Amino acid sequence: MRSIKLNVKRYDPEAQESHYQEYVLDVEDSETVLDALIKIREYIDETLGVRCSCRSAICGSCAMRVNGHARLACKSKVVDLSANGDTITIEPMGNMKPIKDLVADMSIFWAKMRQVQPYLKAHQPPPEKESIASNAAMHNLVGAKNCIMCGACVSDCASLAVDETFIGPAALAKAYRFVDDPRETETARDERLRELSKPSGIWDCTHCYECVQVCPKDVAPMERIVDIRRAAMEAGYKDNNGSRHSDSFARSVKKSGWLDELRLVPESLGFDDIGAQLQYVPLAIKSVLKGKMPPIIHHKRPGAEHVSRIFEELEKD
């Protein structure tokens, strides 16, 4: 038994105001943040709002921010968070509005999920028995399929925080599950890749890795997004800033061993899009004035040929 302090962010929906409330209670070393919250609502303060059910990291109900990062409360041992009796701070998920206390409004999460048409589009009519598929192909999908829709990745997504239109990590990981399913028709897969390559889709992820870090089920949404990007480019969906950026980046590093920043912007935007190019003029001027202008002549780095060889080796596959 140890005494712990939880600093819980409360939200009163009727007064529409938030405040922090401290609870002090005794817990066993084996207990989780969720166990502590349940004790609070059952024996200390019955007004505390929190969603929870399975207590085994399966139902996905209890995602919330614990010490600043989204986690499942039922998978967060108190002793790991408060070894020295530090106060644990509990807040509702981010990028969503609170409904009451730790209960967040997940409608944005589900809206984005519906946006990717999250269901298998297989050949019709279906075969009389099962569709034949390899175990490896099915097993590949299990990573993405492990997702329990808890919302942790959406809560802490840095891109979503500044751009509400971004489809976001959970829905894109879900989309990957169909893109990589051998039962999906070619037409449907192609259609998905085209849609996902549009603005607000796969290229709007900024690689901050936060979703990989906070996902309690090792879905690694960002890696799934990268998988879709690869599939989309292979399918020929390269007429967008993201894939041009990716190509330009790779081309430059392959050739010179380092990034040619001066070419990156125009190549990403496309040389023919004068309007988009012009938008970057003020930034370029500011960079020059602050002495941040990249060199006009982009020289090869010593040993660049070794970098080229790495590319050539990888491209063989």
Partner 1 sequence: MYHHDVLVIGAGLAGMRAAIEAFRMGADVAVMSKVHPVRSHSNAAQGGINAAMGGEGSEDTWEVHAYDTVKGSDWLGDQDSIEIMAKEAPQDIYELEHMGVIFARDDYGRLATRAFGGATNQRTFFVGDITGQAILQVMYEQLMKSGMRVYEEWFALSLIKTDGAVTGVVAMDIISGDVQVVQAKSVILATGGIGRVYEPSTNGLICTGDGMALAYYAGAPLMDMEMVQYHPTTLKGNGALLTEGARGEGAYLITSEGERFMQRYAPNKLELASRDVVSRSEHTEIQEGRGIDGCVFLDCRHLGEKLIMEKLYQIYELALDFANVDIVKDPCPIRPGMHYIMGGIKTDTDGATSVPGLYAAGECANVSIHGGNRLGANSLLETVVFGRRTGVAATNRALSQAKLNGADEGSLIEEQRGRFRDLMDRSYPGFTAAKLRLEMGVTMDKNISVFRTDEGMRETLGIIRGLKEQFGKVSVQDKGKVYNWNLMSVLELEYMLDVAETIAIGAVARKESRGAHARTDFPERDDKDWMKHTLVYNSPDGPMIDYSPVSITQWPPERRVY
Interacting residue ranges for partner 1, rule: CB under 8 A = 12-14, 30, 41-43, 45-61, 75, 77, 99-101, 103, 106, 113-114, 117-120, 122, 126-135, 138-139, 141-142, 145-146, 148-149, 181, 183
Q: Residue 92: is the preceding peptide bond cis (ω within 30°)?
A: no
In the complex, least distance from residue 45 CB atom to partner 1, rounded to whole angstroms: 8
CB atoms within 10 A of CB 183: 18
In the complex, least distance from residue 85 CB atom to partner 1, rounded to whole angstroms: 21
Length of the chain: 317
Which residues have CB under 8 Å from 301's CB, separation 6+?
Answer: 256, 257, 258, 307
Closer residue to partner 1 in complex, CB, 56/84: 56
Contact yes or no for 40/5 (Cβ under 8 A): no
H or E stretch covering 66:
strand 63-66
Of 170, 145, 168, nearest to 63 by C-alpha is 170
Closer residue to partner 1 in complex, CB, 75/189: 75
| Unique residue bearing structure tokens 């840095």 | 158
- Quickly list DSSP for 129-182: SPPP--HHHHHHHHHHHT-----HHHHT-HHHHH-TTS--HHHHHHHHHHHT-T
Closer residue to partner 1 in complex, CB, 180/260: 180
Structure tokens at 217: 């089920």
In the complex, least distance from residue 291 CB atom to partner 1, rounded to whole angstroms: 51
Closer residue to partner 1 in complex, CB, 44/288: 44
Closer residue to partner 1 in complex, CB, 178/237: 178
In the complex, least distance from residue 190 CB atom to partner 1, rounded to whole angstroms: 18
In the complex, least distance from residue 211 CB atom to partner 1, rounded to whole angstroms: 19
Closer residue to partner 1 in complex, CB, 148/215: 148
In the complex, least distance from residue 237 CB atom to partner 1, rounded to whole angstroms: 24
